[in-house]
C-alpha cells in the first residue's frame, strides 16, 4: 500500500504569506531585484545583548533538554514582564513556552476545542487561524468586519454569530492583517458578551508593543474580573524583539489548563530550543531601549505609507493603529488589464504586481477578505519608497 495523505491534511491550505515570500525569493534567485512587502517579519537584526546571551548560554553548556513547558526562569521573566506592563499577575505555573506563537495557538486550540465546537473568527484574519481551528476538529465561524468600522468586531455582529455550539472567540489585537487596534471600551463591550454567553477567548497579543499615534494597548484579561479564568493569552518575542527565527512563543492560561498543555507538548515536541529560551530571558529582562527604537522607526514608516496610500488614486486603507501592515483596498482596480493580462481577483492582482513590478504583497482573499492586499511596512524606507512608486505605476 502506498503512502496516502490523510483527509485532515488534504484539507489544509498552505500559508499564503509564506507562498508569496517563496515566489519573491524565486525571482530574486533568478537575479531580479524584488521589493518584498509580503512577510510579517521585522527587518532589524536581533539586538546584540540578546545574541550575546545566546552565545553565553552555549558556552555555559545550556544545550540539553529543558523542562518540556519551558525554563522556570523564562516563565518567571514572562510573568514579571506582564505584571510590569499591566499590573496583572500570572504565576509561572500558568505559562507554557512553545516553539513560536503559532505553536502556542496550536496548543490552545487542540487543548480546549472538541469536534463540532464553533470558534468565532473576525475577518480579515491571519492566514493560519482558520486552518489551525479546522485541524483541531472545530469549525471557524467567519464574521466579516468592514473597513467603515475599522475592521473591528462589533458587539452586534458578535452576538449575531453566537449559536449553541459556540465555544470560543479568537481575537487578534493589534490586528494582522489590518493594523486595527481596539480601544479599552471596544474590548470591554466584547468581554461583557463573552462572560454573559460563557465563552472562552484566545487573545493573540503578539503585536502588543507595536501601537502608534497615541493609541494605548489593553490586554484582554485585565478588562474585568473573571476574564483570566476564561482567557488563553498568546504572545512571544518574535515581533517585539526581531526574533522571528528564534521560535519562542507562549501562552498564559488557567493553571489546570496550562498543566495539561505542558503534558501535550511533552509528547509532541518536548522543549523549545534551549538557547533561544536563554536569549528570550535576556530580551525580557534587558534594556528595553531597543524595543522603543524599533517602534519609533515602525511609526515613521507607518506615517509614510499612510500618506503614500492617500496620494494614490482609487485605493485606501483603514487607520493602522498597531502592528506593521497596511490592508489596502484595491477593489476599484480589479476587473481590468495590466500589461495585457486580465486581473479579476486580489490573488491575480498580487501575482501580476510581483511579476510586472517586482513588488511582493499578499492577496486579501488569503485573509478572508477579497478586494484587498496586505503590504507589510517592516521594510527599509528605501524599499517602501521604491515599492510604492511601482505600485502607483502599476495602477496607472
Same domain for 185 and 149: yes
pLDDT per residue over 330-364, tens digit each? 999 999 999 999 999 999 999 999 999 999 999 99
* Mean pLDDT, range 86-102, rounded to an integer: 97
Q: Which pLDDT does position 238 carry in this prediction?
A: 98
Determine the Cα–Cα distance for residues 156 and 144; give it in Å rounded to an integer: 12
Same domain for 139 and 37: no
Same domain for 164 and 231: yes
Question: Helical H runs in the chain?
Answer: 7-10, 16-29, 48-59, 72-86, 101-112, 127-135, 155-161, 184-196, 255-268, 274-285, 289-311, 346-357, 381-395
The C-alpha cell that represents 36 in the structure block: 518584498
The C-alpha cell that represents 362 in the structure block: 499578499
Q: Which pLDDT does position 186 carry in this prediction?
A: 98
Out of 266, 285, 304, a domain closes at: 285
Q: What is the number of alpha carbons within 13 Å of residue 354 lying toward its C-beta? A: 25
Across 206-225, b (16+ Cβ under 10 Å) vs e yields bbbbbbbeeeebbbbbbbee
Q: Kindly indicate the confidence band of residue 1, based on its pLDDT and cuts at 50, 70 and 90.
A: confident
Same domain for 278 and 151: yes
The C-alpha cell that represents 9 in the structure block: 491534511
* CB neighbours of residue 385 within 10 Å: 13
Give a yes or no: residue 333 inside a domain: yes
pLDDT per residue over 121-156, tens digit each? 999 999 899 999 999 999 999 999 999 999 999 999
Q: Compute the CA torsion angle 186, 189, 195, 200 (nearest 10 deg).
A: -30
Give a yes or no: residue 167 inside a domain: yes
Number of independent structural domains in the chain: 2
CATH code: domain of residue 188: 3.40.640.10
Q: Answer positive or negative: Cα dihedral of 245, 354, 313, 315.
A: negative
Q: Which pLDDT does position 187 carry in this prediction?
A: 98
Give a yes or no: residue 83 inside a domain: yes
Same domain for 253 and 332: no
Give a yes or no: residue 222 inside a domain: yes
Give a yes or no: residue 257 inside a domain: yes
* CB neighbours of residue 88 within 10 Å: 15
The C-alpha cell that represents 40 in the structure block: 510579517
Residue 19 has pLDDT above 90, yes or no: no
Out of 263, 285, 307, a domain closes at: 285
Out of 257, 285, 313, a domain closes at: 285
Would you say 346 and 334 are in contact if contact means Cβ atoms under 8 Å apart? yes
Would you say 69 and 96 are in contact if contact means Cβ atoms under 8 Å apart? yes
Give a yes or no: residue 2 inside a domain: no
Same domain for 379 and 239: no
Residue 21 has pLDDT above 80, yes or no: no
Cis amide prior to 124 (ω within 30 degrees): yes
Determine the Cα–Cα distance for residues 366 and 327; give it in Å rounded to an integer: 12
Predicted model pTM: 0.95
Residue 182 has pLDDT above 80, yes or no: yes
- The greatest distance separating any two alpha carbons of the chain, rounded to the nearest whole angstrom, comes to 61
> Greater confidence, 365 or 11?
365
Would you say 206 and 105 are in contact if contact means Cβ atoms under 8 Å apart? no
Q: Which pLDDT does position 192 carry in this prediction?
A: 98
Q: What is the number of alpha carbons within 13 Å of residue 331 lying toward its C-beta? A: 11
Nearest partner of 21 among 368, 376, 365, 386, judged by Cα = 376
* Mean pLDDT, range 13-22, rounded to an integer: 74
* Mean pLDDT, range 202-221, rounded to an integer: 95
Give a yes or no: residue 340 inside a domain: yes
Q: Which pLDDT does position 7 carry in this prediction?
A: 82
Q: Kindly indicate the confidence band of residue 24, based on its pLDDT and cuts at 50, 70 and 90.
A: confident
pLDDT per residue over 275-332, tens digit each? 999 999 999 999 999 999 999 999 999 999 999 999 999 999 999 999 999 999 999 9
Same domain for 119 and 24: no
Same domain for 354 and 253: no
The C-alpha cell that represents 191 in the structure block: 468581554
Its domain, for residue 389, covers 7-45+290-395
Same domain for 52 and 41: no
Share of residues in the chain with pLDDT > 90 (%): 90
Same domain for 173 and 117: yes
Give a yes or no: residue 1 inside a domain: no
Nearest partner of 179 among 354, 351, 309, judged by Cα = 309
Same domain for 93 and 228: yes
What are phi and psi for residue 341, nearest 5 degrees?
Answer: -105, 125
pLDDT per residue over 31-74, tens digit each? 989 999 998 899 999 999 999 999 999 999 999 999 999 999 99
* CB neighbours of residue 307 within 10 Å: 10
Determine the Cα–Cα distance for residues 322 and 97; give it in Å rounded to an integer: 24
Residue with cell 522607526: 297
Amino acid at each position: 500500500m502506498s503512502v496516502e495523505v490523510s483527509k485532515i491534511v488534504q484539507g489544509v491550505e498552505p500559508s499564503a504569506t509564506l507562498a508569496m515570500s517563496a515566489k519573491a525569493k524565486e525571482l530574486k534567485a533568478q537575479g531580479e531585484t524584488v521589493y518584498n512587502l509580503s512577510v510579517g517579519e521585522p527587518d532589524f537584526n536581533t539586538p546584540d545583548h540578546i545574541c550575546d546571551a545566546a552565545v553565553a548560554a552555549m558556552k555555559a553548556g545550556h544545550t540539553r533538554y529543558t523542562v518540556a513547558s519551558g525554563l522556570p526562569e523564562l516563565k518567571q521573566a514572562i510573568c514579571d514582564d506582564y505584571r510590569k506592563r499591566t499590573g496583572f499577575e500570572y504565576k509561572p505555573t500558568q505559562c507554557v513556552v512553545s516553539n513560536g506563537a503559532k505553536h502556542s495557538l496550536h496548543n490552545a486550540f487542540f487543548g480546549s476545542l472538541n469536534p463540532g465546537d464553533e470558534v468565532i473568527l473576525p475577518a480579515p484574519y491571519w492566514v493560519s487561524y482558520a486552518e489551525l481551528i479546522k485541524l483541531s476538529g472545530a469549525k471557524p465561524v467567519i464574521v466579516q468586519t468592514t473597513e467603515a468600522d475599522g475592521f473591528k468586531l462589533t458587539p452586534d455582529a458578535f452576538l449575531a454569530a453566537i449559536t449553541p455550539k459556540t465555544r470560543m472567540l479568537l481575537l487578534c489585537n493589534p490586528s494582522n492583517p489590518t493594523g486595527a487596534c481596539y480601544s479599552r471600551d471596544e474590548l470591554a463591550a466584547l468581554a461583557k458578551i463573552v462572560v454573559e454567553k460563557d465563552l472562552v477567548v484566545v487573545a493573540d497579543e503578539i503585536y502588543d508593543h507595536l501601537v502608534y499615534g497615541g493609541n494605548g494597548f489593553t490586554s484582554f484579561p485585565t478588562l474585568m474580573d473573571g476574564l483570566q479564568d476564561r482567557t488563553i493569552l498568546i504572545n512571544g518575542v518574535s515581533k517585539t524583539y526581531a526574533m522571528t527565527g528564534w521560535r519562542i512563543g507562549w501562552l498564559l492560561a488557567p493553571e489546570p489548563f496550562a498543566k495539561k498543555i505542558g503534558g501535550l507538548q511533552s509528547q509532541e515536541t518536548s522543549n523549545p530550543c534551549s538557547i533561544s529560551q536563554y536569549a528570550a530571558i535576556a530580551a525580557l529582562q534587558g534594556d528595553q531601549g531597543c524595543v522603543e527604537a524599533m517602534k519609533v522607526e515602525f511609526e515613521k514608516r507607518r506615517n509614510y505609507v499612510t500618506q503614500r496610500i492617500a496620494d494614490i488614486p482609487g485605493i485606501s486603507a483603514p487607520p493602522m493603529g498597531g502592528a506593521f501592515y497596511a490592508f489596502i483596498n484595491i477593489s476599484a482596480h480589479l476587473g481590468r488589464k495590466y500589461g495585457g493580462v486580465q486581473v479579476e481577483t486580489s490573488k491575480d492582482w498580487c501575482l501580476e504586481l510581483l511579476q510586472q513590478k517586482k513588488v511582493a504583497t499578499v492577496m486579501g482573499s488569503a485573509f478572508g477578505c477579497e478586494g484587498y492586499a496586505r503590504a507589510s511596512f517592516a521594510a527599509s524606507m528605501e524599499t517602501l519608497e521604491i515599492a510604492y512608486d511601482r505600485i502607483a505605476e502599476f495602477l496607472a
